[in-house]
Chains A and B, each alone.
Chain A
Amino acid sequence: MDKTIVALATPAGNSGVAVIRVSGENSKKCLQKLIREDLDFEPRKMYLKKIYFSGLEDVCLVVFFPSPHSYTGEDVIEVQSHGGYFIAKKIIDELLSLGCFPASAGEFSKRAFINGKLSLDQAEGIMDLINAESDMQAKNGSFLMQGELKKIIEEYQNRLTEILAEIEAKLDYPEYEYTENETTDILKKLKEIDTNLSMLIVDSKTGIKIKNGVRVALIGAPNVGKSSLLNALTKTNKAIVTSIAGTTRDVIEGEYEFSGIIFRLFDTAGIHESQDEVEKIGIERAKQILNEADIVLKISDDSNICNISTEQPYINVINKSDIIDEKKIKDQFASDYILVSAKNNENIDALKQLIFDKTILKKIDSNKLYLTNARHISAVKQAKTYINNAISQFNNTSMDIISSEIKSAWLSLGEVTGDTNNETIIDKIFSKFCLGK
Chain B
Amino acid sequence: MEFVDEYDAIVIGSGHAGSEACLALARLNKKTLLTTLNLDSIAFLACNPSIGGTAKGQLAGEVDALGGEMGVNADKSMLQLRILNSGKGPAVQSLRAQVDKVTYHNEMKHTIERQKNLDVLQCEVAEILVENSKVVGIRTSMNEYFSCKAVVVCTGVYLNSKIIIGDFTKFTGPNGYEPSTMLTKSLIDLGIEIRRFKTGTPARVDAKSIDYSKFEIQPGDDLNISFSPISKKVKNKKVCYLGYTSPAMHDCIRENILHAPLYSGKINGIGPRYCPSIEDKIMRFSDKERHQLFLEPESENSDEVYVQGISSSMPTDVQRKMYSLIPGFENVKIMRFAYAIEYDCINATELKNNLESKKISGLFFSGQVNGTSGYEEAAAQGIMAGINAQRYIDNLSPFVLGRDQAYIGVLIDDLVTKDIIEPYRMMTSRAEYRLILRQDNCDIRLTEIGRKIGLVDDKRYRILKKKLKQIAQVNQSLNVSYGPKKLEQLFVEKNESLPKSGLTLRECVKRNNITIFDIATHFKMFSDIPKNVLEYVNTEIKYEGYIKKELEYIEKNRHIENLSLPDIDYSKINGLRIEARQKLNKFKPSTLGQAKRIDGVSPSDINVLLVYLKLKGIIK
From B84, B575, B602, contact of A113 by CB (8 A): B575
Q: How many residue-residue contacts, CB under 8 A, span A and B? A: 105
From B55, B89, B607, A120 is in contact (CB under 8 Å) with B607
A114 touches B546 (CB 8 A): no
Instruction: Judge if B611 is at the interface, Cβ distance under 8 Å.
Output: yes
A70 to B543, CA, bound (A): 52
Inter-chain CA distance A326–B437, complex, in Å, is: 76
Chain A contacts of B608 at CB under 8 A? 113-114, 116
**Chain A residues in 8 Å Cβ range of B92:** 171-172, 399-400
Set A73, A114, A398: member contacting B89, Cβ < 8 A: A398
- B566 CB contacts on chain A under 8 angstroms: none
Q: Does A12 touch B at the CB level, under 8 Å?
A: no
Residue of B nearest to A430 (CB): B611
- Distance in angstroms from A238 CB to nearest chain B CB is 43
The contact sample of 16 A-B pairs, CB cut-off 8 A, is A110-B615, A114-B612, A115-B574, A116-B575, A172-B429, A174-B84, A175-B294, A398-B90, A399-B88, A401-B91, A401-B546, A421-B610, A423-B559, A423-B560, A426-B607, A426-B611
Residues of A within 8 A of B294 (CB): 175
Q: Mark B80-114, 1 if CB is under 8 A from A, else 0.
A: 00001101111110100000000000000000000
The 3 closest A-B pairs by CB, nearest first: A398-B89, A400-B89, A400-B91
Chain B residues 462 to 508 lying within 8 A of chain A, measured CB to CB, are none
Chain B neighbourhood of A419, CB < 8 A: 602-604
Contact A116 B576 (CB under 8 A): yes
Closest approach, in angstroms, between the C-beta of A23 and any C-beta of chain B?
A: 13
B611 with A401: CB separation less than 8 A: no
Q: Are B611 and A114 in contact (CB under 8 A)?
A: yes
Residue of B nearest to A107 (CB): B615
Q: A426 to B576, alpha carbons, bound, how many Å?
A: 16
Query: Complex: how many Å from CA A408 to CA B550?
Result: 10
Is A397 in the interface zone, CB < 8 Å from B?
yes
Once bound together, how far apart are the Cα atoms of A176 and B292, in whole Å? 9
Enumerate chain B residues within 8 angstroms of A401, measured Cβ to Cβ.
Answer: 89, 91, 543, 546
The 8 Å CB contact of B427, one of A120, A172, A399, is A172
Contacts of B577 in A (CB 8 A): 116
Q: What 10 new A-B contacts, CB under 8 Å, besides A172-B54, A421-B607?
A: A68-B574, A110-B611, A113-B607, A170-B88, A171-B88, A174-B94, A397-B89, A401-B543, A404-B550, A421-B610
A401→B612 CA distance, assembly (Å) = 37
Binary flags per residue of A162-185, CB closer than 8 Å to B gives 1, else 0: 000000101111111100000000
A420 within 8 A of B: yes
Q: Is A260 an interface residue (CB 8 A)?
A: no
**CA of A173 to CA of B425 in the docked complex: distance in angstroms?**
12
Which A-chain residue is minimally distant from B308 (CB atoms)? A175
A396 touches B573 (CB 8 A): no
> In whole angstroms, how far apart are the Cα atoms of A387 and B254 in the complex?
43
Q: How far is the CB of B308 from chain A (nearest CB, A)?
A: 9
Of A174, A418, A421, the contact of B54 (CB 8 Å cutoff): A174
Residue A27 CB within 8 A of the other chain: no
**In the bound complex, do residue A171 and residue B574 qualify as a contact, i.e. CB atoms below 8 Å apart?**
no
Contacts of B54 in A (CB 8 A): 171-174
Closest A residue to B438 using CB positions? A400
For residue B281, give the distance in angstroms from its CB to the closest CB of chain A: 12
Q: Closest approach, in angstroms, between the C-beta of B618 and any C-beta of chain A?
A: 13
Contact with A along B409-442 (1 / 0, CB 8 A): 0000000000000000001110000110000000
Chain B positions 63-93 with a Cβ under 8 Å from a chain A Cβ: 84-85, 87-92
Specify which of B429, B574, B603 is in contact with A418 (CB 8 Å cutoff): B603
Q: Is B512 an interface residue (CB 8 A)?
A: yes
| B318 contacts the other chain (CB 8 A) | no
